[in-house]
Structure 1
Amino acid sequence: MEVQIISKEIIKPSAPTPDHLRTYKLSAFDQLAAFSADIPVILFYSPTAEISSKNSDDLKKSFAETLTNFYPFAGRIKDDSSIDCNDEGATYIEARVAGNMSMILQQPDIGQLEQLQSCKPDENVDEPCGKVMLAAQVNHFDCGGIAIVVRIRHLAGDAASLASFVKQWGAISCGVYDNSAGTVVDCSSLFLPQDLSCLRNPIPLKFNISAKRFVFEGPKIAALREKLCKGPYLNRPTRVEAVSALIWGVVGEDSETKKVTRLATVAVDLRKRMDPPLPQHCIGNIVHVAVANWEAKEVDYNGLAGKIHESISMINGEYVKQVYADGSFLQFHDTENGDDGTRS
């Protein structure tokens, strides 16, 4: 597969950001996310008359309009606790891909998917404005199909934030966007910014990581949920709980892992769990990791699903307030690390 870059530019918001919104404060979650890799999403569109009618100028115009509402994504990092919403813009790339889009969809290959993602928000663009917060790449296949890639720096938002941007971009492009609600909420008062100087030189950790792709079709997941209902721990697991329990259990059946306590982690969106709830579409890193453990030697899938359900259920507004409100969740760094950043 050959990918040829046609154009690369910086697109600015269609309307300037008001002066009173020029500084976007980062929360403690955002600060921690700055140490993580950026988040990508790839959307594939089969060749249709509707897709063909969306020319380059239409997509660019709607992209600029979307940046107006998500104005921190068009800014630049100001310091450790804020983004300067200076409307410098986001990277926009167009590329031509030789071949049919079906060659990727039938057997996805990580190498091929990477070729569609020349947009890297964590890299310097060819302008003096420095690193961008968000980048998009529109890939045009010979067959007429389109693959749109959007990547966001983790510091600017989580996966839900990226999904909100993509949905709004699509809505504006189709002329069905309802601009009745904002997208930016100041969460710095909920999750107080912290001094993260103790993390500047983190202790290096080594992991053996492997990546595999699993496809769970709807009927199979429904059957799995019904099967996991048969047990005393949980009446009916959600789709996430059922699939997570299955993967966790398969790993736990390995002879080596039976000797240790097995942990499962699930990312939990806090927007609906806050009191009062936050708008579901608001940006930022508003996520907590639920941790479940299983010490029994034998695998019980209903029990595993029950453990995951229990760990997720305990994350409510009161829990979030107790754990995060005063920033005490970061205090362990003071006790585990010496003054020079080494473990004591």
Structure 2
Amino acid sequence: MVIFLSKFQRIVTTYRRSLHPIRHGILFNCNIHSLVEITSRKIIKPSSPTPHHNRFLKLSLLDQLIPSTVTATIIWLYKNPNGSNFAAETSETISERLQESLSKALVYFYPLAGRLKSPALVECNDEGAHFLEARVNCQLSDFLKQPDIKLLTNFIPDNDPKTAQEALGSVLLFIQISVFNCGGIVVAASPSHKLADGTSLHTFMRTWAAINREDRVLGAQLVPPEFTGGSLLPPRELSLPSINASMEIQSLTTRRLVFDISKIASLKSNNGGVVQTFIPSNINLVLAIILKCSIAASRQFKPESWMRPMVLTQMISLRRSIVPEILENVMGNWFWSHPLLFKENETELHELVSKMRQGLTDFRAKKANRFKGEEGFLVVSESQRERADLYKSNKGLYGYWATSLCKLPLYEIDFGWGKPAWVTSPGVRKNLILLADTKQHDGIEAWVTLDEQEMAIFESDPELLAFGSVNPSISLG
């Protein structure tokens, strides 16, 4: 599932990082912000009005907990749909068609065209989604040789200062279409996290893409979205304990790494010479490698951190745990951020993997099925108190956040131009680890954000480089 910091923090982070020269990527001689120019800002409304009986939507308790300025962003990059033949009118035609199909999609996903009125209430008033168009003054193939996160952040619509100032916190869907000089197209979707987790965003994009390519067969097979979270887990008046977790945004550096699945196969049954009683997943192994190397980097940079415990907070999907199962077409947030404490000496791969597995098993057995009905409020309150107690009783605790888009068929989103060359979702938060599948499912892509000095140590760790590559090229094929 996807969850990020407030957009204000992301904009501040991007600005601060833009003050330093770009040290990675082929565009290091350019002013990265001058490469992307917003050419238009529009409002796209549903093609037919929302019925009066759907005027107000009550959100779930899980939706209620998410800050109004947090969005769930995924970026799709496509090569020129017309081969080498490209002209300005081509991009105009593509944009007009996308706007028309988005307008039709919003008829089904009508809350995304509404406005947030309170932490748990959406007015479905058809005021529309924000739709931005931009030109990118470089070639897609050049960018993909070494993708730079600074350029990627300029593809995210609610990172546009004017859009953020006018709409962030009330508008529920932002779309940006960016066109490279070669005709390559970027589609970035940023729905409010109030209405969409990763699965919900995929459901929306799949429908929009099918409408855009006029796929009547798939269109007939698509199940209409349901907005039933408020009845499954009703919102409540909340008085939850605050958590003093570090939210630093200064001097952060984000890197993209790609882990080769074949290289971690040897760790499946034998981690560092320790035979496991279970076969760990590729996701857990990659996460454990990143954690081990990042902890080592932190301890090398700050020797005093040897004496500090570590907490890993994982975003765990609830959809298959709740009975009856929460289907993909049910919109909203159906995940929980579950913290797991590691002692100072629990930093070996087999220890990290084993404890992550045990933590997930315990959570699913004891809590995951309880996030519904009246009991849902009790388990949310209980979990929040436990999390606050964890931070309170472990002074100096430092933490990592992990979220995964793995297993979501994001590369199947086809607007009529074929499958994307790359799908990504970079996030900027201190100690954030975001995982996603590669296009051929032969690897796992990770975005890792660390303190700048720690990152310098982390990205040169021999154990990390034995399994992963730092920012490798992406093929247009």
Q: What whole-Å deviation, never above 9, does each CA across 1:6-26 have from its counterpart, x for those lacking one?
A: 322111112322222222111
> d(CA) in 2 for partners of 1:142 and 1:9?
22
Q: Alignment identity in percent?
A: 28
Indicate the residue corresponding to 2:78 in structure 1. 45
Indicate the residue corresponding to 2:320 in structure 1. 272
Q: Taking structure 1 as reference, are residues 233 and 149 closer, same or farther at Cα in structure 2, changes over 3 Å only?
A: same
Indicate the residue corresponding to 2:248 in structure 1. 207
Q: Which runs of 5+ in 1 are unaligned?
A: 337-344
Kindly provide the amino acid, as one letter, of the partner of residue 327 in structure 1.
Answer: F
Moved more, 268-277 or 213-222: 213-222
> d(CA) in 2 for partners of 1:230 and 1:115?
45
Q: Does 1:192 align with 2:225?
A: no
Indicate the residue corresponding to 1:340 in structure 2. none
* TM-align CA RMSD: 3.2
Indicate the residue corresponding to 2:210 in structure 1. 171
> d(CA) in 1 for partners of 2:130 and 2:95?
15
> d(CA) in 1 for partners of 2:239 and 2:362?
31
Q: CA deviation at 1:106?
A: 1.9
- Specify the SS of the correspondent of 1:104: helix
Checking the alignment, whether the CA contact within 8 Å between 2:292 and 2:349 is kept in structure 1 is yes
Q: Does 1:31 align with 2:64?
A: yes
> d(CA) in 2 for partners of 1:133 and 1:170?
19
Checking the alignment, whether the CA contact within 8 Å between 1:28 and 1:188 is kept in structure 2 is yes
Higher relative contact order (CA 8 A, sep 6+): 2
Q: CA deviation at 1:62?
A: 1.7
Match of 2:350 among 277, 298, 302: 302
Moved more, 215-224 or 103-112: 215-224
Checking the alignment, whether the CA contact within 8 Å between 2:111 and 2:122 is kept in structure 1 is yes
> d(CA) in 1 for partners of 2:339 and 2:237?
25
> d(CA) in 2 for partners of 1:122 and 1:330?
32
Give the paired residue count.
Answer: 331
Q: Does 1:290 align with 2:338?
A: yes
Indicate the residue corresponding to 1:341 in structure 2. none
- Specify the SS of the correspondent of 1:39: coil
> d(CA) in 2 for partners of 1:170 and 1:224?
39
Match runs of 1:147-162 below 5 Å: 147-162=186-201
Q: Taking structure 1 as reference, are residues 226 and 123 closer, same or farther at Cα in structure 2, changes over 3 Å only?
A: farther
Q: Taking structure 1 as reference, are residues 288 and 179 closer, same or farther at Cα in structure 2, changes over 3 Å only?
A: same
Q: Which runs of 5+ in 2 are unaligned?
A: 1-33, 389-477
Checking the alignment, whether the CA contact within 8 Å between 1:43 and 1:149 is kept in structure 2 is yes
Indicate the residue corresponding to 2:433 in structure 1. none
Checking the alignment, whether the CA contact within 8 Å between 2:223 and 2:329 is kept in structure 1 is no
Q: CA deviation at 1:249?
A: 1.9
Kindly provide the amino acid, as one letter, of the partner of residue 116 in structure 2.
Answer: I
Q: Taking structure 1 as reference, are residues 11 and 317 closer, same or farther at Cα in structure 2, changes over 3 Å only?
A: farther
Q: Does 1:316 align with 2:364?
A: yes
Match runs of 1:87-106 below 5 Å: 87-106=126-145
Q: Does 1:217 align with 2:260?
A: yes
Checking the alignment, whether the CA contact within 8 Å between 2:79 and 2:184 is kept in structure 1 is yes
Match runs of 1:316-335 below 5 Å: 316=364, 319-322=367-370, 325-328=375-378, 329-330=380-381
Indicate the residue corresponding to 1:64 in structure 2. 103
Q: Taking structure 1 as reference, are residues 323 and 166 closer, same or farther at Cα in structure 2, changes over 3 Å only?
A: closer
Indicate the residue corresponding to 1:135 in structure 2. 174
Q: Taking structure 1 as reference, are residues 298 and 273 closer, same or farther at Cα in structure 2, changes over 3 Å only?
A: closer
Q: What whole-Å deviation, never above 9, does each CA across 1:245-286 have from its counterpart, x for those lacking one?
A: 112222344354442222222211111111110112321111
Moved more, 104-113 or 187-196: 187-196
Kindly provide the amino acid, as one letter, of the partner of residue 23 in structure 1.
Answer: F
- Specify the SS of the correspondent of 1:103: helix
Q: Taking structure 1 as reference, are residues 310 and 35 closer, same or farther at Cα in structure 2, changes over 3 Å only?
A: farther
Q: Taking structure 1 as reference, are residues 252 and 113 closer, same or farther at Cα in structure 2, changes over 3 Å only?
A: closer
What's the TM-score, normalizing by structure 2?
0.61
Checking the alignment, whether the CA contact within 8 Å between 1:66 and 1:172 is kept in structure 2 is yes
Indicate the residue corresponding to 2:286 in structure 1. 243
Checking the alignment, whether the CA contact within 8 Å between 1:122 and 1:153 is kept in structure 2 is no
Kindly provide the amino acid, as one letter, of the partner of residue 59 in structure 1.
Answer: L
Kindly provide the amino acid, as one letter, of the partner of residue 168 in structure 1.
Answer: T
What's the TM-score, normalizing by structure 1?
0.83
